[in-house]
A and B are shown apart, each in its own frame.
Chain A
Amino acid sequence: MSSAAGVFIATLVTLTLIKATPIIYAALGGVISERSGIVNIGLEGMMAGGAFTAVVFSGITGSPIVGLLAGIGAGALLGFVLGFAATVFKVDQIVAGTGINLVALGGAAYALMLLYNQPGASPQVNALGSSYWILVALAFVCALVLHAVLYYTPWGLRVRACGENPRAVHDAGLHPLALRLYAVILSGALAGLGGAFLSIGEVNIYSDGMTAGRGFIALAAVIFGRWTPWGATGAAIFFGFFEALQYVLQGSIGWLPSDAMQAIPYVAALFAIAGLVGKVRAPAADGIPY
């Protein structure tokens, strides 16, 4: 192999990991939420909320670690709002998730104007620098932990049971609504972490539209990965690969325009949801209020 090809492949692999990381976090958030029975359409908004809050707090304190934690907190807070609405008020989860997206994306743009008096983007803040590689590695640790928790702990079993048959969970003397609420808060925290990675990991600012549909790609990854932590992680890497490919190839390779590559995650999810790539089975009570 020539050294040019080696450099090319190394760049591609590196970029794939970087581009996949925020999607992995959000997709893991999607998995835990959906396994508990709550569809999280609001992942995009939670990512934006996390990305924006991370920048604000890193700017105020000068510490990107504080920013990161604040980003996670902001995501968790939005998760709480969705979870509270979906459990206590039994609202329609899809409608509520759409609302979360509008509130978070609009709220970030609104606050951008109020805090910095400039539209479009925040000033530069202290970012994580090269230590963001820890977050890349942590994404895989999170997948491992989530897998272990979901399949090998009593709590995980209960959460999965909530997604299949909340009535049975209730009859076993547990609280399905509480379990769902915790799951969605965790979901928001993970999406917030993914968003913070975008703003103070990859770069050092927040700009409007920076999440660029990654929350929806994560949703696609959840489905393509068949509602399992490793499946969703694999799907996120697959989607991250095509994003990386666009950067490495500077746009398009003759027969495959970059716009077509951007559509790949969505087309893949469409095929998956139609059951054309093997049997798909969502949690039985997914999306149904209890």
Chain B
Amino acid sequence: MNVLRRILGGPVGAILLAFFLAACAMLVAGVSPADGFQALFIGSLGGKQQIAETLVQTTALLFPALGISLAFRAGLFNIGAEGQLVVGGLAAGAVGAHFAASTPIAVFVLLACGFIGGGVWGAIAGWLRAQFNANEIISTLMLNFIALAIANYLVSGPLKSSAAAGAETAPLPGSSWLPLLIPDTRLSIGLLIAIAAAIVLRWVFTRTVFGYELRAAGEAPEAARRNGVNMPRMTFLALTLSGAIAGLGGATLVTGVLHRFNTQLSPGYGYTAIAVALVGDLNPLWVCVAAFGFGILEAGGLAMQALADVPKDAIHVIEGLIILVLAARRYIATRAEGAPI
């Protein structure tokens, strides 16, 4: 009984709930759930292109969700993955437009730019928290909008491509593109990088001293501090790394999918990723599974609208409700003393 309760109260329960809510959304729209789900799954898993698109969405969600998991594990509320992803993508796009080298080197350099860009954006929040005890929830949230404003300014001004009609950077040379994982689709090896990142993150959490201290800082901050964990340093590092992972995601979107930077890079991946991280229980490997589930929703949502007349925005309502339900579980150990919100 207890086992059942644990399973249902966790990610599995959330997924069942998602199906139930999706069925409700379909019924409200006057569509039988059978037709709706059929459209959803045909649109996301019905063929090579559809599966590839689902995995593109999975990749886009996985990076920020891993970053968020890392910060949450350290007891820090990073809701700035969206901004960190944008800055990472912007850094990759800005450098990539003016940089040519042979493929492995060029791609590596651009991904590093994204990693650093996102890292800097996370580091600002980390520094503000470590130095001034400025609550990271507010700072990361505000930094999202600052990132968007900067990106808007740069792509419509200094970085605007003279060739493009819209506000975007010049396209990346072909040598800077991430190689495709499945030919003739949009799916690049970014997916493999994301999965590798998840495996590394799990290793860090479970097998390294840093990971142990990070989790200790999140779960028992007072005990961690008394046992010699340098809390300001841990705060700074956790938020920086968290941002860097999200930024790496932005760079894979630029080098793997868009091949340029524009501000339509993310339709809110950084916010949806909060749900992904929570459904995945902040455990990197489960987060991969959760990202695939949300990838199905994101990719299948459009087909659901086209084939079954269920507005695709239902997907976001479902995501929001999942977050609301999962909020009841305790994720963030109270590191609240002293940090004004």
B contact residues, total (Cβ < 8 Å): 52
Q: Is A92 within 8 A of B330, CB to CB?
A: yes
Q: Most chain-B Cβ atoms within 10 A of its Cβ — which of A103, A275, A276?
A: A103
A286 at the A/B interface (Cβ < 8 Å)? yes
Q: Is A287 within 8 A of B341, CB to CB?
A: yes
Q: Is A275 within 8 A of B134, CB to CB?
A: yes
Q: Is A274 within 8 A of B128, CB to CB?
A: yes
A15 at the A/B interface (Cβ < 8 Å)? no
Bound together, the chains give a CA A39 to CA B332 distance in angstroms of 15
B149 at the A/B interface (Cβ < 8 Å)? yes
Proximity bits, A215-240, B CB within 8 Å = 1, else 0: 01001100100000000000000000
Enumerate B140-187 residues with CB–CB distance to A below 8 Å: 141-143, 145-146, 149-150, 152-153, 156-157
Q: Is A110 within 8 A of B324, CB to CB?
A: no
Q: Is B341 within 8 A of A96, CB to CB?
A: no
B residues less than 8 Å from A220 (CB atoms): 138, 142
Shortest A80–chain B CB gap in Å is 13
B336 at the A/B interface (Cβ < 8 Å)? yes
User: B49-57, B201-209, B310-318: which lies at the A interface?
Assistant: B310-318
B residues less than 8 Å from A210 (CB atoms): none
Shortest B66–chain A CB gap in Å is 18
Enumerate B300-336 residues with CB–CB distance to A below 8 Å: 311, 313-317, 319-324, 326-328, 330-332, 334, 336
The closest CB in chain B to the CB of A268 belongs to B142
Q: Is B149 within 8 A of A95, CB to CB?
A: no
B242 at the A/B interface (Cβ < 8 Å)? no
A62 at the A/B interface (Cβ < 8 Å)? no
Q: Is A270 within 8 A of B274, CB to CB?
A: no
User: A16-24, A151-159, A165-173, A258-266: which lies at the B interface?
Assistant: A258-266
Bound together, the chains give a CA A270 to CA B137 distance in angstroms of 11
Which of A39, A85, A114, A267 lies in contact with B341, CB distance below 8 A? A39
User: With A99-B323, A100-B324, A109-B316 known to touch, is A269 a contact of B142 (CB < 8 Å)?
Assistant: yes
Proximity bits, A190-226, B CB within 8 Å = 1, else 0: 0000000000000000000000010010011001000
Q: Is A91 within 8 A of B341, CB to CB?
A: no
Q: Most chain-A Cβ atoms within 10 A of its Cβ — which of B132, B150, B272?
A: B132
A41 at the A/B interface (Cβ < 8 Å)? yes
B135 at the A/B interface (Cβ < 8 Å)? yes
User: With A99-B323, A106-B319 known to touch, is A92 a contact of B28 (CB < 8 Å)?
Assistant: no
Bound together, the chains give a CA A123 to CA B139 distance in angstroms of 37
The closest CB in chain A to the CB of B268 belongs to A102
Bound together, the chains give a CA A220 to CA B144 distance in angstroms of 13
A residues less than 8 Å from B156 (CB atoms): 259
Q: Is A213 within 8 A of B145, CB to CB?
A: yes
Bound together, the chains give a CA A282 to CA B327 distance in angstroms of 23
Q: Is A105 within 8 A of B316, CB to CB?
A: yes
SS class, residues of chain A in contact with chain B: helix
Q: Is B313 within 8 A of A98, CB to CB?
A: no
Shortest A72–chain B CB gap in Å is 22
Q: Is A270 within 8 A of B157, CB to CB?
A: no
A residues less than 8 Å from B319 (CB atoms): 102, 106
Q: Is B328 within 8 A of A274, CB to CB?
A: no
B residues less than 8 Å from A288 (CB atoms): 334, 336
Which of B28, B139, B271, B278 lies in contact with A270, CB distance below 8 A? B139
The closest CB in chain B to the CB of A39 belongs to B341
Q: Is B274 within 8 A of A106, CB to CB?
A: no
Bound together, the chains give a CA A273 to CA B316 distance in angstroms of 30
A contact residues, total (Cβ < 8 Å): 52
B29 at the A/B interface (Cβ < 8 Å)? yes
Shortest B40–chain A CB gap in Å is 15
A94 at the A/B interface (Cβ < 8 Å)? yes
User: With A85-B328, A99-B323, A274-B134 known to touch, is A114 a contact of B317 (CB < 8 Å)?
Assistant: no
Which of A104, A107, A259, A269 lies in contact with B150, CB distance below 8 A? A259
B residues less than 8 Å from A286 (CB atoms): 340-341
Q: Is A257 within 8 A of B157, CB to CB?
A: yes
Shortest A90–chain B CB gap in Å is 8
B residues less than 8 Å from A107 (CB atoms): 313, 317, 320
Q: Is A106 within 8 A of B278, CB to CB?
A: no
B79 at the A/B interface (Cβ < 8 Å)? yes
Please name 23 pairs of A and B residues whose Cβ atoms are closer than 8 Å in the assembled complex, sorted by A: A39-B137, A91-B324, A94-B137, A95-B326, A99-B321, A99-B322, A102-B323, A104-B320, A106-B315, A107-B313, A110-B317, A112-B311, A216-B141, A257-B153, A259-B150, A259-B152, A270-B138, A273-B134, A275-B133, A275-B134, A276-B132, A287-B336, A288-B334
- Beyond A95-B278, A100-B324, 19 additional contacts (C-beta under 8 Å) are A90-B328, A96-B324, A100-B320, A102-B320, A106-B315, A106-B316, A106-B317, A110-B311, A110-B316, A112-B313, A114-B29, A114-B311, A270-B134, A273-B128, A273-B138, A273-B139, A274-B139, A281-B340, A286-B341
B residues bordering A, Cβ < 8 Å? 25, 28-29, 77, 79, 128, 131-135, 137-139, 141-143, 145-146, 149-150, 152-153, 156-157, 271-272, 274-275, 278, 311, 313-317, 319-324, 326-328, 330-332, 334, 336, 340-341
